[in-house]
Amino acid sequence: YTNGITAGDILGCSIPLMANTERDAVAIAISACAPKKGRECRIIQVKNTLELTVIALSEAYWEEVQGHPSIRCLTSPEPMKFSSEGDLERVGNWAARVQGKSE
């Protein structure tokens, strides 16, 4: 893993990458994508592929989704939230939090 991460070429790894935490996994994915493209990463987080009514988009999508007739923004861009153990906040929990509901 180390060589693939250092080289920024995780696609060249012959076995699937594993990270100690979800925070580490997101950081590895961003480091593999962002520097080479010279732009912000475009990240989409979904609860699961069967439930796409609420999704979390990275800030790189903000301008694109503003005013889109099929998309309603629940909040302005905010950083991804991780627990102290490095677990990523789930989309369902995030949606409930910003809508003032409990899930």
Phi, psi of 8 (to 5 degrees): 70, 25
CB 82 within 8 A of CB 25: no
Instruction: Give the whole-angstrom CA distance, residue 81 versus residue 94.
Output: 9
Q: Which pair of structure tokens corresponds to residue 7?
A: 């080289």
Beta bridge partners of 44: 57
CB 65 within 8 A of CB 73: yes
Q: What is the pLDDT of residue 30?
A: 85
User: How is residue 15 annotated by DSSP?
Assistant: S
pLDDT tens profile 57-77: 888 888 889 889 998 888 888
pLDDT tens digits in sequence order for the chain, 103 residues long: 677 788 777 777 777 778 999 999 999 888 877 666 556 788 889 888 898 888 888 888 888 898 899 988 888 888 889 999 999 988 877 777 777 765 5
3-class secondary structure, 13? coil
Within 8 A by CB and 6+ apart from 73, the residues are 65, 66
